[in-house]
Every structure is written in structure tokens, then in C-alpha cells.
Structure 1
Amino acid sequence: MPLYVTVLLVQSSKPIMDKRLMRQGEGCPTVVRPPLACDIEFGLIQKALDKPDDRPMSDIDGLTLDITVPEAALKENNTKLPVLVFIHGGAFIIGDSGAPHYDMAAIVAYSQSIAKPIIGVAINYRLGVAGFLDSSELRAAGIPPNRGFLDQKTAFQWVRRNIGGFSGDPTRITAIGQSAGGSSVMHLLDLDLQNESLFDRAICLSGNNLAVPSSPKHVAHEAYEAVLQRLGINSTLSSEDQVTALIAVSPEDILSKIPMSVPLQPVVETDQLPSFRSVETHLPSAQNRPPLMIGSTDFDAVVFEVLGLFAGRDPGLAQSFARSLIKAIPEEHHAKLERLLSLYEISEEQEDDKARVKILQFGTDLKYFATSRHYANLWPSRSWLYYFNESNPWDGPHKGRSAHCLDIAYLFLNFNHVMNESQKKTATDFARDVISFTNMEEPWSEFHASKDLRVYETLAENQESADGLRIAAGPSEEVQSLWSEIGLDNLAQAWGAYSAKS
């Protein structure tokens, strides 16, 4: 069995945040962790594992990292193994590296069995109000934005400096993030690190900073005002009194009074992070970027429904969706947009149950597949693109679909005991490729040179579905052609306008 160690990052976190946002601890800021994260993600996976007790929401129990080392490495002197550092997702408001489906013991053991041993590290970071609430009042009080990213930065710095003591190689560190964790990987590359490299390779699973929302300053300020209102803090108080009142609120009140619809997410237009990126033109400004493995699942956008995409909307979802897009898209593209909607079978008379699925597929292809392909195609270093299209085998509304979080269930091999042999093969194939990438190998043909895309599924590659819309590797060529003609930026902004009204 691999060795498992939890490390508390107290001193490392000390400079991150103003002392006035600390409670009772001697250097670690309060971490607020919603307890329902496991249940939400198990709902997406449609299969549950035994849950550990929730970690306390305290100053000294929140900012941790978990290290998993192959047993054989402990018996060999001078062994230096590559390191895979995992950043969990959860829309920047929920999540915990200690969740059972994030347990890295199985993938670490598998890496040993195929003679490509790795060390696994899973990190925690501040979420929601503690991690991403921002305003001019907070900044005036000396509290920086994007504190969750600063926690992640601290964790990677700790790994770089200390993993050698756990048989790790500090020159071979791969960052891997899923959903908001994938977006985090991209944002960490944008932080002003004064030429300090946090990791040597990057993997983004169903998340990047074009797919996962971030907030410009004005949206962040609106979220701040919403938090004050929900917590009963008078916005006419002085900045100092507002901050004092915020500090006095208990974690339990924060969790119970602030809904998930409040956009507590990364704040751009700051000294740390640049402004919103264009889907069509964005490239990292610096050419010195690590090799990248990136991809998505076939039904990722179901997570938007979990976050309230359809909540409170009137009947007639297809009609309101189509009209919202038509309003947002320039008139010269309306005919092409109507053709695009027809390919997704989104028509104004469609029943809501069917419309939900079609709208979510539209969002999946636009926000996840298109952005992943965009990054792979324009990344200034080497890149590898994959597509996870394994059907969910378990009972529930997403059975037969590759929904958000199913990739994690397969990758970390924690559900193999309830899989058949073909499903296990998909899981080990996925894990093997990630392990190979972490070992600084090429898991398959590099994208720039070959345009090859790895598909994880049990069906033959490029097998078309009955309606001809779907192929194994994403939407049809006609759909992708219409994206280009209408403009990905136009479509992304139209999707954002529809989402903002949820």
C-alpha cells in the first residue's frame, strides 16, 4: 500500500492574507468548506463511495496537502519520482482534496505496477467568500483578491521546495486540475511569479480559464454587495467597519445564507490576473509555457444545471434560449445561428425536458470542447488533446452520457470495483496516459504535429450517433464550421448572456 501523509501549510500560508481575516490561529486563514460537495459530485457520477467525516472548518485544518508515495520508493535510497499535484474543482465554492473519489492511492499504486511510479499530491485552498470575495473595501484593508490562487501558489512552492524529502523529484512536477481546478492551472500560469516556475507540465480536465467563468471588477463588486446584503451587513458602513463585520460572521452563517448563485469566482482586471480572454484570440502572453494535456467530457455542461442554469425560468426553455442567443448575436449571423440551433434540434415548440438536454449539449460543445481544442491548437508549447466519451454505466438521469466528473471517477481508479472489464480498461488507459505524461513522456502523438485527438470510450473512434450530430470526438464538422462562421466570441458572449439571467 502507498504511504499517505497530510501536511498542514500553516507557516507557508502566513503571508497570504491580512491578519484581520484570521480566527484563533497563528498563521492560517479561516477556510469555509461546504459539506455537501461529495454528495453533489457523487450525484453527477451517479455512484457514491464511503465518505470520511468532514474536515473541520478551522484555521489549522483547512489549508492542507495530502501526499501519497509508492511503498517501493520508501525502500530505495536516492529515489526521485515525478510528482502529480491535483487541484480539485467545485466552481471555486465547494470541494475538498480529501474526498474519496480524489484519493490518489489507487493511481499511485497502478503507476508502480506498470513500472512508471509517481507521487501523488492533492491540495486544498480557500473557496467562496474566504477565497474569492473581492471589493475595493477589502483591498483598502490590505486583503488581496484571488486568495484561493495564492493558497495554491503556496502549495506548489512548498512541493517544489520539500517534495525531495518524500522521494519526489522537484524538477518533474505536473499540475493537474479538474473543472475549476483546470481553470486554476491556467490562472496560476498567469500570476506574476517573477520568473518562478510552479510546475513543469500541466493537465486540464474539463476546465480552463475560457470554460470556467471569472469576474471582472464590476461583477466582483456586485457579488460583494450581495454578500453584505445576505449577511445583514449595512453597505453604508465605513470600509473598515464592513470588513470588521465580515470577519465576525461564522463559517456556518456564510454557508447557510449565501447561495451558490452568487458569483464568488476568480477576479480578473487585477494586478495578478489580466482581463477577460477572447476565445478566438487569447494566447498566453509569455512563450515559456509548459507542455499541456487538455480535454473534456461529452456532457460537461450538466454542471451548469447543478449551478442553477434553469432555476426560476419560465416554461418554454428552448424558445427563451433561442431568443436570447438571437438577441445577442449580430444580425448578419442570424441565418447561420438558426441552422446551428436546428442541428441541435432546439426549436421553440420543444418540450422542456428535451430542451434541457439539447441546451446543455450546446453549452458542452461551446464551453468545453471548443475551448479545449482552442488551447491545444494555439498553445505555444507542445500539447495533447483528448476527449472523454465513456458512457456512464450507473442508474440516474445521466446514464449513458459522459457527464461532468465522470472523468475523475475513471482516472483515479476509485470506482473499478463497480466497473465491468471494458470500463476498467478505459479507466486504466486514461490513468496510464496521465502517468506517462507525468513521467515526461509523450502519451500519444503531439497535437500540433499530428492533430491527433485521444478518445476514451468503448465505441470505435468517429462512430456517428443515430442523429448524425455527435461523433466520438465532439460535435460534427458542420457544427464546428458554423462556430467559425458565427464567431466563437459571439457565441461565448451569447451563452454568457443567457447564463447570467439564471
Structure 2
Amino acid sequence: MATIQHPLLGRTEGNKKNGLVEFLGIQYATLAHQFAPPVPVDRKDSDESIDATSYGPSVGGVDGCDSEFGLIQHKLPRTHFAKSATQGLNLNITLPNVDVSSKSLPVLAFLHGGGFSAGSSSWPQNQLTNLVSVSSELGLPVVGVSINYRVGPAGFLTSQELRDAGFTPNNGLRDQRVALQWIKAHIKGFGGDSENITLVGHSAGGVSASLHLASEEPLFKRVACLSGQFLAVKPLPDPVHEHFYAESVRILGLDNLSPSERVSRIQGLNADEVAKISAFPSRPIVDGRMCLEIPSVKAVAGGIPTTLHRGWCQDLFIGDCQFDGSIMAGALDHRKSGIGKAFGEHLEKEVKDIPGLAGKIISAYTINSENSDDDSLHGILRLLNDVFFYIPTVYLARSWKDGAAYVYRFNSPNPWEGRWQGEASHITDLTMLLHNFDEFLTEEQKEAGRDYTRDLLTFVSGKKPWQAFDEQEEFEMEYGTLSGGRRKLIWDIVEEIEPDRLTFVLEQFIARG
């Protein structure tokens, strides 16, 4: 056991493990009910010690851990993950085994992914223990902090009816912001530097991290968006949220209740009832506080507006996997039969005012109806990869003027048997960055992950990981040797059609269900 006397929290008990110290499940906010705004924990008058020896519960969402293992194509040992409607806003702190009173280490705050619908910092693939251990081995020691936040309906279900009743929207983002404020106020007592925090988000966590750039209050010094940023997964407009709410009400059988009765029932939904309405996409909404506008390439390309970035974050670390588009397969697999023909017809209809463009796209990504359904779907996913993951990172890097932008491309293949073996599929980068799968990798694969880790930790430490991306040379670091992703022809395509319009056309096709 490891015990510290924290100046704000009092006696805090954690674990010593493999040369590290962990403080797990520390509650940073409380909830009056599962849809309430987070209230920061205040322990200044408490004499009770904190038991931080085990992971705390998560709030909401589906238990998607095994589903994510399916995407990774490899499992780790797991236990039962506890959930709580009101006690799940907690975080975990991992640090080298040092005297915290004499240290001021860089802080890596981590936001997990999961599509805003699932995810937890206690899932074994998201744990920071091995990353912090490697940071010490590399001579770049950091304090790692992983954050639990609300996902699924508790995090993002909203409607005018709920807002009129005082239910705040974007609760998942609100949780994250309160957690970042907690870290700034408390991390010094754990040996971290409160003025040297890097927010690292993966997938939906990367989308979240980029949305926090709009905060009027500075929350971190640097940001790393890994396989996700606010152009990849955008906030949904009000009518879509209203539709999801209406469908949720129907599924729960609350149609005939008065608005006040319905709101009261929703406030007290049990876990089984929440699970019934968890199939709808969870996404942020423009609310004038946590999210100020729906991001667009046009807005970013003109110089990132203050509604998206206030300018207090210095440096940007951003990139994608060679085939992040694999994450979108689930939305299209059920339509695979004849998908090449269907996609071609959709393009011809939507861009008929631009002669030859549909044919150009179909040819570039080999989506024509003469190919097999598998090949056509694969081509569509590559197009989605380039439009939603690849070109947005370039636009964001080009527009980043407040400090240095560092762009990478993760091209190391998924080594495990399954659909995506040999591809740098979505989440493959995380398995190598956090080193939780190292025992299942070859030495060559481990070394690729170590290079990636070293560069990110160099960035977190406030040093230059490689040549910055700038107007003179748009340098991109590459990890691995895969080719075939991020086709350069996409730039010829977006010269003929505005990227935002192309994005909308593709979103329409996906949404056809």
C-alpha cells in the first residue's frame, strides 16, 4: 500500500505496483441523479481518508468492453465492471514511485473512446499503468490520469422537454471539464505539474479533447487528438436529438404521460431501461456552453474561429490510423449486398451538378458494382477514412497558429487474426501506445509501439517530437510501412467539391440505415 497526505484531499491510500504508485477510483464529482450536472467534490472539511486502492464504477453506457476486443481482435483478462447511476465520476492516477512532495512531473490526462456510447478507464485496454512504466524507462516520466465520464443516454440524451425541466445537455463533456478542473487543482499533491497538463484523447476521446478547445477557461497546455477530432464526429442538430428522444420515449412506453411525469420517470430509469435506449447514437449537441457550433472544414480552413479554439492551448499532436475507417463497418455491414451499385447511384444523384465526379470517386476507391460486395465495401470504408479522419487532420494542422502542430500517420498493421489483420485498423494504435498488449506482440511490433510512445511522451514533456507541420513543409511522421490508405487523390477530389459537402453526402449514405 502507498499512502500520501494530500494537502486538499487529506490521507489518500493507493497501491504500489511494479515500481509504480496508483490511486484508483478517486471521485471528482457527484450527481444528484444520473442526468444531473456534475458537482465538484469538496473535501476541505472532511477528516475521512480516501481508499483509492480499486477502480471505481462507471456511469451509463453499454458494457462494450468485449465488443471493443472484437475490433482489436485480441482479448485481455477482464473482470466485472461495476456501474453506478450517481457514483461513477472518478479518475485514476498513476505515477512513478517517487517522493511526490519533491516532484513536479508533466501530466498526461487521458480520455478513452467508445463512440460516446461506451467505454471506461477501468477497461484493461485503457489502463495507463504500462504507459507510465515505459515513460520512466524512456527517461520521460509522467503522471498519468485516466478519466471516467458519462456515456450513452446519461451522457448525451437531450431534448427541449428535458432542457425545459432543467436537465443539462452534453453531460459527458461537462464531466470531462470538471475532471480537468479537478486535475489542475489537485495534481500537485500527486507530484504533477498543474501548469504542464496535456490532454490526450483517443477516438471519441479525441473528439472531446478538440471540443474543449472552445472553453473560455484554459484547461490544459497541449492537446493530442488520436484517431478522432471534431470534424470526424460532429455534434448532431436539434431535430436529430429530438427524434432520438421521441423514439426513446416510445420504447420506454412513456408516450401517454404528462411532460412532468415523463421527465420524472426518465430521471429514475434503472440500468435495464437505460440499456433499452442505448442503441441510438450518442453525440453532443450545440448548447452554447460546452459546444458552441457544429465544426466545418470551411470554418477551420479559414483559421480556426474562437468558437472552436480560444487560443490558450499551445501545441497540437494529431493523426490517424491507416484504416480508421474500419470503425464505420458496423454501420454498413447489413447493407453489404449490392452496396457498390447503391453507393454509385447515391453519388450520381447527389453530385450530378459536378460532371464526372461520381465516376472519379468510384474509380479512385474501386467501388464499382462489378467488384465483389466485400471489395466495394472496403473501398467505401477507405473513402470514409480519408474524408473523416485523414484530411481533417491536415486542415486542423494547417490552421493551427497558436503554437506547433505535429502530424503523424500510424501505419503499423493489426497483427491478430480477424477481418482487419494486416490493416492499421481503428484502435490498433492504442494497443501499442498504452503497451497493454505487449506480451502478444513480436519484438518488431513492440518497437514500433515504443517509437510512437516515445514521441507522444516527448510532446507531453514539452519537447519537440519531430519537425513541426508548417506552411513551408507539411511534414508527417509515419509509424510502420503499410501503404494503400489515405489516397492522395482525395485532394484532387476535394478541389472539385467542398469537403463539407462531400462529408454531408457520405453522412447521408450512412444514415440511410
Question: TM above 0.5, one fold?
Answer: yes
Q: Does 1:310 align with 2:333?
A: yes
Paired amino acid for 2:73: Q
Residue 60 of structure 2 contacts residue 84 of structure 2 at CA under 8 Å; is this kept in 1?
yes
Aligned to 1:79: 103
Which deviates further from its counterpart, 204-213 or 283-292?
Answer: 283-292
List aligned pairs for 1:281-430, cutoff 5 A.
281-282=299-300, 283-285=304-306, 286-306=310-330, 308-311=331-334, 313=335, 315-329=337-351, 331-381=352-402, 382-430=404-452
1:225 aligns with 2:246: yes
> Do the aligned partners of residues 264 and 156 (structure 1) sit closer, same or farther apart at CA in structure 2, a change above 3 Å counting?
same
> What is the 5 A alignment of 1:234-249?
234=255, 236-249=256-269
Partner of 1:447, secondary structure, is coil
Quick one: structure 1 residues 65 and 455, their matched pair in 2 at CA, closer, same or farther if it must change by over 3 Å? same
| Equivalent residue in structure 2 for 1:91, among 115, 121, 124 | 115
Q: Give the number of aligned pairs.
A: 471
Q: C-alpha separation between the residues in 2 aligned to 1:302 and 1:109?
A: 30
Q: Distance in 2 between matches of 1:20 and 1:247?
A: 12
Q: Structure 1 residues 314, 40: closer, same or farther in 2, change over 3 A? A: closer
Give 1:326 deviation, angstroms: 2.5
Match of 1:275 in 2: 293
Equivalent AA in structure 2 for residue 280 of structure 1: K
Structure 2 Cα separation of the partners of residues 134 and 439 of structure 1: 39
- 1:45 maps to what in 2? 72
Q: 1:21 to 1:298 in 2, by over 3 A?
A: closer
CA deviations on 1:205-247 (whole Å, 9 max, x unpaired) are: 110111013211111111111111111111x533211111212
Structure 1 residue 445, shift from structure 2 partner? 0.6
Post-superposition Cα deviations, 1:448-469, rounded to whole Å, max 9, x if no partner, equal: 153110111046xxxxx5xxxx
Query: CA RMSD for the aligned pairs?
Result: 2.2
- Equivalent of residue 178 in structure 1, options 184, 194, 202: 202
Deviates more, 1:388-397 or 1:285-294: 285-294
- The amino acid across from 2:209 in the alignment is V
Give 2:62's match in structure 1, choosing from 28, 34, 47: 34
Q: Which secondary structure state, in structure 2, belongs to the residue aligned with residue 177 of structure 1?
A: strand
Q: Give yes or no for the alignment of 1:69 onto 2:95.
A: yes
Instruction: Give the counterpart letter for 2:162 in structure 1.
Output: L
The answer to whether structure 1 residue 2 and structure 2 residue 23 are counterparts is no
Q: Distance in 1 between matches of 2:58 and 2:417?
A: 38
Residue 497 of structure 2 corresponds to which residue in structure 1? 486
User: TM-score of the superposition, structure 1-length normalised?
Assistant: 0.89
Separation in 1 of the partners of 2:37 and 2:426?
37
SS in 2 for 1:202: strand
Report the CA distance between 1:20 and its aligned residue.
10
**Secondary structure at 2:333 match in 1:** coil
Pick from 462, 487, 500: which aligns with 1:475? 487
In structure 2, C-alpha distance between the alignment counterparts of 1:44 and 1:14, rounded to whole Å: 32
Distance 2:498 2:212 in 1: 28
In the alignment, the residues of structure 2 paired with residue 77 and residue 314 of structure 1 have an alpha-carbon distance, to the nearest angstrom, of 58
**C-alpha separation between the residues in 1 aligned to 2:450 and 2:356?**
45
Unpaired runs of at least 5, structure 1? 23-27, 460-464
8 Å Cα contact 1:17/1:147 also seen in 2: no
Output the amino acid matched with 1:403: S
Structure 1 window deviating more from structure 2 (48-57 vs 352-361): it is 48-57
Q: CA deviation at 1:190?
A: 1.9
Structure 2 counterpart SS, 1:84: strand
**Which residue of 2 is the match for residue 208 of structure 1?**
229
SS at the partner of 2:177? Answer: helix
Q: Does 1:100 align with 2:124?
A: yes
> How far apart are residue 280 of structure 1 and its match?
2.9
Secondary structure of the corresponding residue to residue 324 of structure 2? coil
**3-state secondary structure, aligned to 1:172:** strand
Are 1:501 and 2:494 counterparts? Answer: no
Q: Which residue of 2 aligns with 1:252?
A: 272
Alpha-carbon distance in 1 for matches of 2:336, 2:106: 52
Alpha-carbon spacing, 1:488–1:338, altered in 2? closer, same or farther (3 Å): same
One-letter amino acid of the structure 2 residue matched with residue 179 of structure 1: S
- Once the two structures are superposed, the pairs formed by residues 427-446 of structure 1 within 5 Å of their partners are 427-446=449-468
Q: Distance in 2 between matches of 1:161 and 1:15?
A: 23
Matches of 2:431 and 2:473, distance apart in 1: 29
SS in 2 for 1:320: helix
Q: CA deviation digits over 1:105-140, x for unaligned, max 9?
A: 111111111211001110011111101011111111
Distance 1:334 1:128, change over 3 A: farther
Asked if 1 retains the 8 angstrom alpha-carbon contact of 2:324 and 2:385, the reply is yes
- Report what 1:59 is aligned to: 86
1:499 match: secondary structure: helix
Question: Percent identity of the aligned residues?
Answer: 32
Gaps of 5+ in 2: 1-18, 40-55
Counterparts of 1:128 and 1:351, CA distance in 2: 36
TM-score (norm 2): 0.87
Cα distance in 2 between the residues matched to 1:4 and 1:29: 16
3-state SS in 1 of match to 2:80: coil
Q: Distance in 1 between matches of 2:454 and 2:146?
A: 19
Residue 455 in structure 1 maps to residue 494 in structure 2 = no
